[in-house]
Amino acid sequence: MKNIVAIVGRPNVGKSTFFNRCIGARHAIVDDSPGVTRDRIYHDVDWSGHDFLLVDTGGVVFDANAEFANEVLDQVKLAIAEADVIIFMVDGKAGLHGTDQQVANLLRKSKKPVLLAVNKIDEPKEKDNSAEFYELGLGEPHGLSALRGSGGVGDLLDKIVEFFPEKKKEKNGKKDLEFISDEDLAKEAEEEDKGPLAIAVVGRPNVGKSSMINFLCGKERTIVSDIPGTTRDAIDTNITFEGREFTLIDTAGIRRKSRVDYGIEAFSVVRSIKSIGRADVTVLMLDANAEITEQDQKIASKIEEAGKAAVIVLNKWDLIENKSSKLMNDTTKTVKAELRSLDFAEVLFVSALTHQRAPKILEASVRAYDETKRRIGTGLLNQIVNEAIALVPPPSSKRGKRLRIYYTTQVSTAPPTFVLFANDGALMTRNYEVYLERKLREAFGFTGSPIRLITRSKRD
């Protein structure tokens, strides 16, 4: 298990800026308005040969009437409980705040190692601003500038790794050497190559994405609320299910562009769309009680364009009356007809509230991913394509020139991509391409996986 380092503090002291600085990427959304980060966000950090998990948390507010104050505090307490080292961040420009005292009391109760980081020491003349934080009774304040990456960021990271067990062994001269055989190295390389299966859960706001993620994780991983837009960052969580590792990516709800204000929500939507690109499988979650909208269709198109394996999930199925197998079959046909971009995807009927069929999301995701990695033998592939051509001959142009397909081969996977060598690629129509794709699916399945067909002219 990696060591875990949690960043805590009141809102707007620069926790997310420091988090982004340490991981070397703009992973957490940063904005001047307080309360941007709400859930816990994890990312790997490597400092001086030490790997650890850094956790960004929401700003602590001890006001029950503030929006999501209790939920954010619960998330922070979970982060403190699992952390090996805690960075308590305060604002060197604003000075000591009453909330800082309350957070300090909370951290003292944890009995965990705490490093006091005084952020926003952007100029040498502001160094003395750190002195007043001795009053918190948490040891020496470490002045730094997360924004500029100067003034002690590296020094603080050096202090963090000193608390790690392996660092202490080095200092004591007692670190054990472990020799690994070639067989073990090969096995480790194979396991690393597999890696966790990344699943992004996307959809419009308030369809139950975070509730489902929390159930699959077995804990309150993200804040759940009836208020649309509660989730802002794309949040990764690693779990193990039936011996297989998964990375679940909870995303912000994607609304119509015209309804998205520039700023925090716009950044959240961009992160959600990017999550589709970095996932192996995308789960499109819909509300079973709501009609499929144009926005759902646009999200489906984004998934298909990205060439990702897909699963369609109808959540809140527990609220549907008079449920039956016929209703499920009819609903499946309707969903596939309205979401034509993902008509190849498996459709599941689940409930995040009652947990009905929820684990099937992971099972279906594995099946869909496996289909994207399938390879078809060239001989069998050409047999199916030739049979399809004999059944329905290719179209001809207005001048009477007919498309002739000589040979077909699969050139890649994820998604499965096939090249059809023909006399003239310009003669291939979209309708005939759809027909050939249908025949390939009838023969080989590819449920949950998009297919790419490329027609290449003989002269090319």
The structure tokens listed for 373 are 């990695």
Question: Among the residues of 206-324, which ranges form H helices?
Answer: 209-217, 264-278, 294-305
Task: Write down the residue that tokens 């023909």 correspond to.
Answer: 422
Token code pair at residue 450? 């998009």
- pLDDT(57) > 50: yes
Distance in angstroms (rounded) separating the CA atoms of residues 13 and 100: 10
The answer to whether 351 and 317 are in contact (CB under 8 A) is yes
Task: For residue 55, name the pLDDT band (cuts at 50, 70, 90).
Answer: confident
Please identify which residue in the block is written with the tokens 């990702």.
308
172 vs 75, more confident: 75
Go through the domains of the chain in sequence order and give each one's CATH number.
3-178 (3.40.50.300), 187-372 (3.40.50.300), 378-457 (3.30.300.20)
Instruction: Tell me how far apart the alpha carbons of residues 54 and 44 are, in angstroms, rounded to a whole number.
Output: 6
Q: Does the pLDDT of residue 169 top 50, yes or no? A: no
Burial class (CB in 10 A: 0-12, 13-18, 19+), 309: buried
pLDDT at 3: 87
108 token code pair: 């003292």
CA distance 358 to 23: 33
What is the pTM for the complete model shown?
A: 0.60
The pLDDT-based confidence of 270 (bands split at 50, 70, 90) is low
Mean pLDDT over each residue of the chain, to the nearest integer: 81
**DSSP state for residue 168 in the 8-state scheme:** H
How would residue 252 be classed by pLDDT, with cut points 50, 70 and 90? low
Residues 191, 192, 198: CA angle, nearest 5 degrees? 100
SS (H, E, C) 135-160: HHCCCCEEECECCCCECCHHHHHHHH
Structure tokens at 174: 């007692």
Average pLDDT over residues 331-346: 96
Q: What is the mean pLDDT of residues 397-425?
A: 91
**What is the residue-wise DSSP string for 69-127?**
HHHHHHHHHHHHHH-SEEEEEEETTT---HHHHHHHHHHHHHT--EEEEEE---SGGGG
Which tens digits make up the pLDDT trace of 182-195? 344 445 444 444 67
Stronger pLDDT, 249 or 439, i.e. the higher one? 439
Whole-number percent of the chain with pLDDT over 90: 42
